Amino acid sequence: MTKEVENMMDKIVSLAKRRGFVFPGSEIYGGLANTWDYGPVGVELKNNIKQAWWNFFVKNREDIVGIDAAILMNSKVWESSGHVAGFNDALIDCRACQARIRADHLIEDALEMKAEGLTPKDMTKIIVENKIKCPVCGKIDFTEARKFGLMFKTFQGVTEEDKNIIYLRPETAQAMFVNFKNVLNSTNKKIPFGIAQIGKSFRNEITPGNFIFRTVEFEQMELEYFIDEKDWEKLFEYWQNEMANWLDHIGIKKENYSIREHDKDELSHYSKKTIDFEYNFPFGTKELYGLAYRTDFDLMNHQNASGQNMEYFDVENNRKYIPHVLEPTFGVDRTFLAAMVDAYTEEEAPTGDGKTETRVVMKFAKNIAPIKVAILPLSKKEELSGKAKEVFDLVKTEFNSQYDESQSIGKRYRRQDEIGTPYCVTVDFESLEDGAVTVRDRDTMKQERVKIEELVKWLKKAF
């Protein structure tokens, strides 16, 4: 990592903690690796991302319905899906410092090549041949790469016997396959149609996670789109466009991400085509989202293993078939991080006395900004705070708002800029005379006088 890059991540992590976006998990006990807690501002941003996604992909469409399934599922689900047998990563240990590292990441970071799809043996060979150093201690003394299970195990019932093992789901997708027939029968949807879900997933990731990029507990927004096989190419392209439209919708700049198609040897065993949306994070260009053509692999497997019929009956053509599936998948936490990186701006701003200072401002798209409006009385004097609270009561039912009368107005503006609040409304002594307030725009810093009775209308137009 270059100094500048390290600096950028440090700045984001420290802003996240200082302003209540994200705190280290279990911090007072020294933390727990790769866990993070979302704070008062962070939970708003995260909820806005999830709500925007749901509106975009479910509520505003006719062909997609949602579900909210249990995190714990019958273990047979994970046997049929191939997760019990195959969901594991090759890890390698440094004998010198005992660091345990994901072998594919070690290769990708050291050689700037993609390592997906390589066997542990291949990876060991590459690491040895290229004399790759341990990123922690710098020595070259690795064990062989070995596979480790990524699924979190737990036990149902009171005894810890093998037969009681259940897993915390490592992806939300399987619940959509398992419920395919339930959804079909209860909604009468016609193919093509999709099932969407937002929910927690768990993976026993042991490598350092780059803040919230890779965590052991994370949220996914996934979509299984059931199609007729003959349409897969055209619909793949359609979903690729929809995913780009979504990124545009939440303000992620086009120049900050790219699309990469998986090579043949990198594809999952079930997939005929997969692309990744990769974002230019400060620590490298990494997967943000994926779009995979999963064929009929999942429904076929569940049909075979459960004995339940997973066919769709195409009435018009009097034909029965197992639908094929396109899967656009989105990480909530990675969206959150991309939104933070994309929004983070440092700019020179006038201080008012002829000088300038560096202003840090999170230029979130307005639809995901955690707080939409801040109401700031110019002083703590009672008559001002009384009036300001009246304004707050007026605005808070329409927009997620904050009332703040602490510290100087300059400090309060700085705080609102750092949490990305699009509009600050200042109530001053003149407001008591003319019934108007000053609205400050986060990005231009332009100020406009608006009548209190017009304020909600003004803000609605501005959003």
The type of residue at 401 is S
The CA-to-CA distance between both ends of the chain, in Å, stands at 38
Cα 9 to Cα 217: distance, rounded to the nearest angstrom: 21
How far apart are CB 23 and ligand ATP at their closest, in Å? 17
- DSSP 8-state code for residue 74: -
Residue placing its CB nearer to ligand ATP in the complex, 44 or 333: 333
Which H/E stretch holds residue 314?
A: strand 312-314
Residue 440's Cβ-side half-sphere holds a number of Cα atoms within 13 Å equal to 18
| Residue list 180-209, contact with ligand ATP (CB under 6 A) | 203, 205
Q: Which of 124, 329, 401, 416 binds ligand ATP (CB under 6 A)?
A: 329
Residue placing its CB nearer to ligand ATP in the complex, 211 or 312: 211
Compute the C-alpha angle 295/299/304, nearest 5°. 120
Q: Which residue is nearest to ligand ATP (CB)?
A: 331
Q: Which of 19, 83, 189, 334 binds ligand ATP (CB under 6 A)?
A: 334
Two structure tokens written together for 371 = 């707080």
Residue placing its CB nearer to ligand ATP in the complex, 115 or 376: 115
* 289 part of the interface to ligand ATP, by CB under 6 A: yes
* 287 part of the interface to ligand ATP, by CB under 6 A: yes
* 108 part of the interface to ligand ATP, by CB under 6 A: no
Reference 220, options 264, 173, 162; nearest CA is 173
Cα 198 to Cα 53: distance, rounded to the nearest angstrom: 9
Would you mind telling me the total number of residues written for the chain in this entry?
Answer: 463
Contacting range for ligand ATP; rule: CB under 6 A; set: 122-130, 152-160, 212-220, 425-433: 212-220
Helix boundaries (H) for 130-222: 173-178, 180-187
Q: Three-state DSSP class for 130?
A: coil
Reference 1, options 216, 281, 206, 207; nearest CA is 281
How far apart are CB 108 and ligand ATP at their closest, in Å? 10
How far apart are CB 290 and ligand ATP at their closest, in Å? 4
Residue 179 near residue 195 (C-beta atoms within 8 A): yes
Cα 313 to Cα 300: distance, rounded to the nearest angstrom: 15
Q: How many residues bind ligand ATP (CB under 6 A)?
A: 15
Q: Which of 218, 257, 336, 423 binds ligand ATP (CB under 6 A)?
A: 218
Contacting range for ligand ATP; rule: CB under 6 A; set: 213-221, 233-241, 245-253, 339-347: 213-221
Between the alpha carbon of residue 225 and those of residues 90, 326, 328, 330, the distances in Å are 31, 5, 8, 14
| Residue list 219-248, contact with ligand ATP (CB under 6 A) | 220
Contacting range for ligand ATP; rule: CB under 6 A; set: 156-164, 215-223, 300-308, 399-407: 215-223
| Residue list 120-179, contact with ligand ATP (CB under 6 A) | 171
Q: Which of 331, 370, 377, 420 binds ligand ATP (CB under 6 A)?
A: 331
How far apart are CB 257 and ligand ATP at their closest, in Å? 12
Cα 44 to Cα 29: distance, rounded to the nearest angstrom: 26
Residue placing its CB nearer to ligand ATP in the complex, 220 or 426: 220
* 75 part of the interface to ligand ATP, by CB under 6 A: no
Cα 301 to Cα 296: distance, rounded to the nearest angstrom: 8
Q: Which of 214, 302, 324, 372 binds ligand ATP (CB under 6 A)?
A: 214
Q: Which residues are near ligand ATP by CB under 6 A?
A: 171, 203, 205, 214-215, 218, 220, 287-290, 329, 331, 333-334
